[in-house]
Amino acid sequence: MVSRMFAALAALCMFAGPAASQATEPDKAVLQDIEHVFEQWRLDAHVPGLVYGIVSDGRLVAVKSMGMQDTASRTPVNADSLFRIASMSKAFTALAILKLRDEGKLSLDAPAEAYVPEMRGWAYPTKDSRKVRVRDLLNHSAGFVTDDPWGDRHQPQPEVDFTALLKAGVPFSRPVGSAMEYSNLGYATLGRIISTVSGKRYEDYIRDNILIPLGMSSTSYDIFRSPHARRAIGYRWQDNSWVREPDMADGAFGAMGGIETSANDYARWVAFLLSAWPARDDPDTGPVPRATVREIVQGSNFAHATARPADAGPPCRWVRAYGMGWRVIDDCDLGRVLMHGGGFPGYGSHVLLLPEKGLGIFVFTNRTYAGPMPPALKALMALNASGAFPDRGIAMSSAVTTGYAAARTVWASGDILAAKDRLAMNMLMDHDVAHWKSELTRLKSAVGTCAASEPLSAVSALEANFIWVCEHGRIKGHILLAPSSDVALQQLEFDVAKP
């Protein structure tokens, strides 16, 4: 069974982070557990077919398909089956907006009406309300009402009808910029902005500037032009049977949820996004600079606390915000997580990324609003718990290395003045020479001789921690450099490690 998971692995090297040549493949036992999780969930959720993929350091290291892409022909799902991914399309729209911003063609803080003239003259909810900015649309803080059922069915709306809708004005759920409220209308409006400032149809701009550069040749918006034999047909579960959902054409709301893609294609997108971490000096070869990709984790500052789903692991309080086309989570075990779901008539999907680990998982299904986050999150927890995917870590800077050498000199001599050329001006004002001597004497007496040769653990390019194993104890240390042109310690700490 596990061998089938590797049968459709991508053969090409995709966009990769610095550790791609050493990409870790999941343990086979962990893969078997993950397969069982998805198979059980598919059965319980009445999903005709699904496919999921795991991407690590630029490679699709596992992919598995289950069930049928078409219940009439009983064609099985495979890694090239084409699924609509609904709101996971928003990430493409957000990155396109950032790319146009980089090129100087729009400003995130400009009023959206500067690019969508139909918004001029709108009636705002209060007299003191500011106008909707492009950034508000990105972060779902424009004050529009949550519109998932309405927005989904507007997918095929003709552009001329969307123009009329915008020109007539829309009601506001709340004042602009006062809260995060999910809006498909907002992302459809971003699609109109992309068309206006690029001079191309939204779909053509995404194809030419993102899909083609990434080699995503099977990804598109117009489902009626995609190969019928590869299409995962959409169904709803109704009256204990699968009922075919009507196909919806590409239209004005494509920017909020129109993409159709395969596991093999989507893995290229995930690999490209993850390749933006960590920041480094390598050549920038993607269609969008790595620094721009890293902006997607910036939340809209309406963070809120929620509980991690109970069946994913031990209780954990999430801090959750909305970035640019992504939900940004701080998880007790996983650290920073980027995630987004996609719900659509006939389809349900989810994607989760761990940018610091270069690890991602995604799942596509062909059942209306299937909501496959629970098995995807449980699978990601299992991958993380395996220990095979550590954080990529922060590269050690020469400045921190120099500061560490000064710290070891201070320890060896028992005198802070032994590193006086590496002390920031505050150091002896915060603790005088006598205090340093007495404290170093006490610590040395407590732990005995220390080789002081253990490596640093970087916090940033100007901060690091270390632990020394000594004769009869351990020393925990911390260095923090000053924001000056010369390498200078503004903080140096030694303490006996507690049991």
- pLDDT tens string 308-367: 998 888 999 999 999 999 999 999 999 999 999 999 999 999 999 999 999 999 999 999
Q: What is the mean pLDDT of the chain?
A: 94
Task: Tell whether 154 is covered by a domain.
Answer: no
Question: Can you tell me the mean pLDDT for 421-438?
Answer: 97
Task: Tell whether 113 is covered by a domain.
Answer: no
Task: Please identify, among 385, 418, 441, the residue that sits at the C-terminal boundary of a domain.
Answer: 385
Helix (H, G, I), strand (E, B) or coil at 44: helix
Co-location of 323 and 257 in the same domain: yes
Q: Which residue type is seen at 112?
A: A
Question: Can you tell me the mean pLDDT for 282-286?
Answer: 94
pLDDT-wise least confident of 233-237, 242-246, 295-299, 469-473:
295-299
Q: Residue 239: phi, psi to the nearest 5?
A: 55, 45
Co-location of 470 and 337 in the same domain: no
Task: Tell whether 271 is covered by a domain.
Answer: yes
pLDDT, residue 299, reads 80
pLDDT score of 197 more than 80: yes
Question: Can you tell me the mean pLDDT for 121-147?
Answer: 96
Co-location of 318 and 379 in the same domain: yes
Q: How many CA atoms lie within 13 A of 441 on its CB side?
A: 6
Question: Can you tell me the mean pLDDT for 139-165?
Answer: 96
| Strands of the 304-307 sheet, one edge to the other | 75-76, 59-70, 49-56, 359-365, 347-354, 335-344, 327-331, 317-322, 304-307
* 341: containing domain: 2-94+200-385
Co-location of 354 and 474 in the same domain: no
Task: Tell whether 161 is covered by a domain.
Answer: no
Co-location of 342 and 432 in the same domain: no
Task: Tell whether 162 is covered by a domain.
Answer: no
Question: Can you tell me the mean pLDDT for 472-479?
Answer: 98
Per-residue confidence band for 3, with pLDDT thresholds at 50, 70 and 90? very low
Question: What is the distance between the alpha carbons of residues 77 and 177, in angstroms, rounded to a whole number?
Answer: 43
Task: Please identify, among 385, 420, 436, the residue that sits at the C-terminal boundary of a domain.
Answer: 385
Upstream peptide bond of 278 is cis (omega within 30 degrees of 0): yes
pLDDT, residue 395, reads 84
Whole-prediction pTM: 0.91
Task: Please identify, among 385, 419, 439, the residue that sits at the C-terminal boundary of a domain.
Answer: 385
Question: Can you tell me the mean pLDDT for 240-246?
Answer: 97
Question: Can you tell me the mean pLDDT for 468-487?
Answer: 97
Task: Tell whether 167 is covered by a domain.
Answer: no
Co-location of 213 and 305 in the same domain: yes
Co-location of 412 and 370 in the same domain: no
Question: What is the distance between the alpha carbons of residues 54 and 353, in angstroms, rounded to a whole number?
Answer: 10
What is the domain count for the chain? 2
pLDDT score of 427 more than 90: yes
